[in-house]
Amino acid sequence: MPPVIIVGGGPAGMVAGLLLARAGVRVTLLEKHADFLRDFRGDTVHPSTLELFNEIGLLEELLKEPHAAIDTMTLNLLGGRYTIATMKHLPVAARFVAMMPQWDLLDFIAGQGKRYPTFDLRMSTEATGLTYDAANRVSGVTLASGEALAARLVIAADGRRSVLRDAAELPLEDLGAPMDVLWFRIPVPAGMDMSEVALGTIDKGGMVVAIPRGDYWQCAQIIEKGGFAPIEAAGIAAFRDRIVAIAPGLAAGIDAIRSFDDVKLLSVALDRLTRWSRPGLLAIGDAAHAMSPVGGVGINLAVQDAVAAANILAAPLAAGADPDPLLAKVQDRRWTPTTRMQAIQRFAHQRVIEPMLRGEITRVPFAVRLLDAIPLLRRIPGRILGLGFGRQHVQSPLAKDFQ
């Protein structure tokens, strides 16, 4: 019997592959790159995701990977620092966000997957399209090499520019996003405490995010959608000056940005498929719903999709059942959590990001001042960010042969 083919080695694809393989389902996971080393990948592994690893006995091992633990969210806004969320109260084993380079997370999952004979990870293998049987059911994938691989089920986890969702002609709703992101790294000067630079800084000149990664910050500047060309035309010195004007704590290492070769443009999308499946194919993660960087929740929604898919499909697939009647159940389970989180992101775009990009933020919003003044209230955004909506628990079985 052909394997389940998962296309895309991001968090959704890797977690789905691990959970299906440990349930005894034969999985072939295709990743088009030779490694996972891409700086624009998100770093925020939230408590909901950490708890999933705890449920399968891997949390302790995962937290041996390089990471910074953040349990309280602070924001520098118009020159003041405000505490807006805490996760210290959450009912999970790890009450913090692990700021972990995504390549380390994916390498860890790959290493765990390889413990199972049913897990086949193929790097440098690019899927370019789909194959169909006589009944127009998806029957496999085509590769850039010209080869075709037969599949019992194809799971499209190939990201926000999914080739497979387009090939499957799944209907896409674009919700719009007002911004793009410029990614760059700045070294931490010797002896400097990384906490001196807030995770997020907003002032009249814009917004800069600084993610701690041990000896450097992975930084992001929020810019207007399509606004990179004039920034590039103004020159790298003007770009560096603007970053320091927003986040002065980055000044000591700013000269590490020598040219725009050191700056990567990430085009932000906020969209969702209105139908995630067709016979023989299921889309999950960013392929099903691209998330904005707001809140850093993209990884965690993708992983929750993967767990829901494994919970619904693993046992039937292991028993040889036809997966097609079950595919819509994955969307049914994940639709409300996805649309709720996207609604929050759209609200943040309209009330925070767009005014910030227009230079219209002239006073600290009342909600920010209230959260900073009343510590108990910080638990509300902490719970939403940390656990999200419709949190999944691992219910997919562990095959007896592997125990």
SS3 at position 384? helix
DSSP summary character for residue 88: T
- Cα gap 10→301, rounded to integer Å: 12
* 372 φ, ψ (degrees, to nearest 5): -70, -35
DSSP state of 397: P
**Beta strand 119-122 with 27-30: parallel, antiparallel or unpaired?**
parallel
Residues near 30 by Cβ (< 8 Å), separated by ≥ 6?
A: 5, 6, 7, 8, 9, 122, 125, 126, 127, 141, 143
Residues 6+ apart with CB under 8 A from 128: 141, 142, 143, 144, 163
CATH 3.50.50.60 fits 4-174+271-390, yes or no: yes
Q: What is the pLDDT of residues 276-300, one digit of tens each?
A: 999 999 999 999 999 988 888 889 9
pLDDT number for residue 188? 87
Other Cβ atoms less than 10 A from the Cβ of 177: the count is 22
Contact residues for 153 (Cβ-Cβ < 8 A; gap 6+): 4, 5, 280, 281, 282, 313, 317, 323
Torsion of CA 342, 345, 351, 354, to 10 degrees: -110
In single-letter form, the type of residue at position 211 comes to I
pLDDT of residue 156: 98
Give the per-residue pLDDT at 40.
54
Computed from CA positions of residues 94, 96, 97, 100, in that sequence, does the dihedral angle turn out positive or negative? negative
Residue 35's identity, in one-letter code, is D
Dist CA 14 CA 302 (whole Å) = 10
Please state, in angstroms and rounded to a whole number, the distance separating the CA atoms of residues 370 and 352: 16
Length of the chain: 403
Q: What is the Cα–Cα distance from 80 to 325, expressed in whole angstroms?
A: 54
Cβ count near 228 (within 10 Å):
17
How many whole angstroms separate alpha carbon 275 and alpha carbon 287? Answer: 11
Tokens of residue 65, six digits: 């990977």
**Mean pLDDT of residues grouped by 10 in the chain (403 residues)?**
93 97 97 76 85 96 91 87 93 93 92 96 96 96 96 96 95 92 89 76 85 83 92 94 90 91 90 97 97 87 97 96 97 96 92 85 87 94 92 91 70
Rounded to an integer, what distance in angstroms lies between the CA atom of residue 161 and that of residue 317? 28
User: Hey, what are 95's tokens?
Assistant: 């009450």
Q: What is the pLDDT of residue 272?
A: 97
Half-sphere exposure of 174 toward its Cβ, with a 13 Å CA cutoff? 7
CB 326, CB 152: distance < 8 Å: no
Element holding 395 (H helix, E strand): none
**Residue 41 pLDDT:** 61
What whole-number distance in Å separates Cα of residue 194 and Cα of residue 233? Answer: 31
Contact 350, 179 (CB under 8 A): no
Strand partners, 342: none
